[in-house]
Amino acid sequence: MIGRLNHVAIAVKDLEASTALYRDTLGARVSQPQPEPEHGVTVVFVELPNTKIELLEPLGADSPIAKFLERNADGGIHHICYEVDDILAARDRLKAQGARILGSGEPRIGAHGKPVLFLHPKDFLGTLVELEQA
Ligand code: CO
Protein backbone atom coordinates (compact mmCIF):
# COMPACT_ATOMS: atom_id res chain seq x y z
CA MET A 1 0.00 0.00 0.00
CA ILE A 2 2.67 2.56 0.90
CA GLY A 3 4.80 3.86 -1.91
CA ARG A 4 7.79 6.16 -2.04
CA LEU A 5 9.43 7.78 0.96
CA ASN A 6 8.31 11.37 0.50
CA HIS A 7 10.37 12.93 3.29
CA VAL A 8 11.98 12.56 6.68
CA ALA A 9 11.22 15.46 9.01
CA ILE A 10 13.78 16.57 11.57
CA ALA A 11 12.82 18.93 14.39
CA VAL A 12 15.48 21.57 14.99
CA LYS A 13 15.98 24.36 17.49
CA ASP A 14 17.99 26.64 15.22
CA LEU A 15 16.85 26.54 11.62
CA GLU A 16 19.63 28.78 10.31
CA ALA A 17 22.39 26.68 11.86
CA SER A 18 20.70 23.45 10.79
CA THR A 19 20.32 24.69 7.22
CA ALA A 20 24.00 25.66 7.15
CA LEU A 21 24.91 22.17 8.40
CA TYR A 22 23.05 20.51 5.53
CA ARG A 23 24.16 23.06 2.93
CA ASP A 24 27.80 23.61 3.90
CA THR A 25 28.89 20.48 5.78
CA LEU A 26 26.83 17.88 3.93
CA GLY A 27 26.78 19.75 0.63
CA ALA A 28 23.04 19.45 0.03
CA ARG A 29 20.69 21.70 -1.92
CA VAL A 30 18.43 23.58 0.51
CA SER A 31 15.40 25.83 0.03
CA GLN A 32 14.66 29.19 1.55
CA PRO A 33 12.87 28.99 4.93
CA GLN A 34 9.12 28.73 4.44
CA PRO A 35 6.83 29.78 7.32
CA GLU A 36 3.74 27.60 7.68
CA PRO A 37 1.69 29.18 10.46
CA GLU A 38 -1.15 26.68 10.02
CA HIS A 39 1.22 23.87 10.94
CA GLY A 40 3.19 25.77 13.58
CA VAL A 41 6.50 25.36 11.81
CA THR A 42 9.01 27.08 9.61
CA VAL A 43 10.40 24.54 7.19
CA VAL A 44 13.51 24.26 5.04
CA PHE A 45 13.42 21.58 2.35
CA VAL A 46 16.63 19.67 1.71
CA GLU A 47 16.46 18.21 -1.79
CA LEU A 48 18.14 14.85 -2.19
CA PRO A 49 18.16 12.84 -5.42
CA ASN A 50 15.72 10.25 -4.09
CA THR A 51 13.76 12.02 -1.34
CA LYS A 52 13.59 15.15 0.83
CA ILE A 53 14.62 16.04 4.34
CA GLU A 54 12.48 18.68 6.04
CA LEU A 55 14.03 20.75 8.79
CA LEU A 56 11.23 21.93 11.09
CA GLU A 57 11.62 24.81 13.52
CA PRO A 58 8.78 25.74 15.88
CA LEU A 59 6.68 28.72 14.81
CA GLY A 60 4.23 30.31 17.23
CA ALA A 61 3.30 29.51 20.82
CA ASP A 62 1.54 26.16 20.38
CA SER A 63 3.77 24.54 17.78
CA PRO A 64 3.55 20.74 17.76
CA ILE A 65 7.33 20.71 17.40
CA ALA A 66 7.98 22.66 20.60
CA LYS A 67 7.01 19.80 22.93
CA PHE A 68 9.14 17.37 20.94
CA LEU A 69 12.14 19.67 21.36
CA GLU A 70 11.54 19.87 25.11
CA ARG A 71 12.06 16.11 25.22
CA ASN A 72 14.83 16.06 22.59
CA ALA A 73 17.14 18.95 23.34
CA ASP A 74 19.42 18.30 20.35
CA GLY A 75 16.53 17.93 17.92
CA GLY A 76 15.78 14.64 16.22
CA ILE A 77 13.73 12.75 13.69
CA HIS A 78 10.12 13.85 14.18
CA HIS A 79 8.31 11.81 11.53
CA ILE A 80 8.65 9.99 8.25
CA CYS A 81 6.25 10.42 5.36
CA TYR A 82 5.17 7.73 2.91
CA GLU A 83 3.17 8.32 -0.24
CA VAL A 84 -0.10 6.55 -0.88
CA ASP A 85 -2.29 6.60 -3.99
CA ASP A 86 -5.59 6.95 -2.15
CA ILE A 87 -5.48 8.39 1.33
CA LEU A 88 -9.06 7.52 2.28
CA ALA A 89 -8.62 3.91 1.20
CA ALA A 90 -5.34 3.77 3.14
CA ARG A 91 -7.01 5.20 6.23
CA ASP A 92 -9.90 2.78 6.10
CA ARG A 93 -7.59 -0.17 5.63
CA LEU A 94 -5.42 0.89 8.58
CA LYS A 95 -8.42 1.55 10.83
CA ALA A 96 -9.80 -1.87 9.99
CA GLN A 97 -6.51 -3.33 11.21
CA GLY A 98 -6.68 -1.42 14.49
CA ALA A 99 -4.22 1.38 13.76
CA ARG A 100 -4.99 4.74 15.32
CA ILE A 101 -5.24 7.87 13.16
CA LEU A 102 -4.29 11.09 14.95
CA GLY A 103 -6.66 14.06 15.19
CA SER A 104 -10.10 13.94 13.65
CA GLY A 105 -9.20 11.07 11.35
CA GLU A 106 -9.98 13.22 8.34
CA PRO A 107 -7.12 14.16 5.98
CA ARG A 108 -5.77 17.70 6.29
CA ILE A 109 -3.92 19.68 3.67
CA GLY A 110 -0.25 19.27 4.48
CA ALA A 111 2.87 21.30 3.81
CA HIS A 112 2.89 20.39 0.10
CA GLY A 113 -0.76 21.25 -0.53
CA LYS A 114 -1.78 17.58 -0.59
CA PRO A 115 -3.99 15.60 1.82
CA VAL A 116 -2.12 14.03 4.75
CA LEU A 117 -2.85 11.93 7.82
CA PHE A 118 -0.71 11.04 10.81
CA LEU A 119 -0.62 7.59 12.40
CA HIS A 120 -0.07 6.95 16.10
CA PRO A 121 3.62 6.26 16.84
CA LYS A 122 2.69 3.52 19.33
CA ASP A 123 1.19 1.52 16.47
CA PHE A 124 4.24 1.96 14.20
CA LEU A 125 7.41 1.01 16.05
CA GLY A 126 7.65 4.23 18.01
CA THR A 127 7.71 6.33 14.84
CA LEU A 128 5.24 9.05 13.92
CA VAL A 129 4.16 8.21 10.36
CA GLU A 130 2.64 10.70 7.93
CA LEU A 131 0.78 9.48 4.87
CA GLU A 132 0.51 11.83 1.91
CA GLN A 133 -1.63 11.29 -1.13
CA ALA A 134 0.85 11.52 -3.99
CO1 CO B 1 5.82 15.85 7.01
Alpha-carbon span 66 to 58, nearest angstrom: 6
Q: How do the pLDDT tens digits run along the chain, 134 residues long?
A: 999 999 999 999 999 999 999 999 999 999 999 999 988 999 999 999 999 999 999 998 889 899 999 999 999 999 999 999 999 999 999 999 999 999 999 999 887 889 999 999 999 999 999 999 99
Q: What is the CATH number of domain 2-133?
A: 3.10.180.10
Q: How far is the CA of 80 from the centre of ligand 1 (A)?
A: 7
Residues with CB under 5 A from ligand 1 (ion): 9, 81, 130
Q: How far is the CA of 125 from the centre of ligand 1 (A)?
A: 17
Instruction: Output the DSSP codes for the chain.
Output: ----EEEEEEE-S-HHHHHHIIIIIS--EEPPPEEEGGGTEEEEEEE-SS-EEEEEEE-STT-HHHHHHHH-TT-EEEEEEEEES-HHHHHHHHHHTTPPBPTTSS-EE-TTSSEEEEE-GGGTTT--EEEEE-
Does residue 58 contact residue 108 with C-beta atoms inside 8 Å? Answer: no
Domain ranges of the chain: 2-133
Full-model pTM: 0.93
Active-site annotation, residues = 130
Q: How far is the CA of 24 from the centre of ligand 1 (A)?
A: 24
Q: How far is the CA of 86 from the centre of ligand 1 (A)?
A: 17
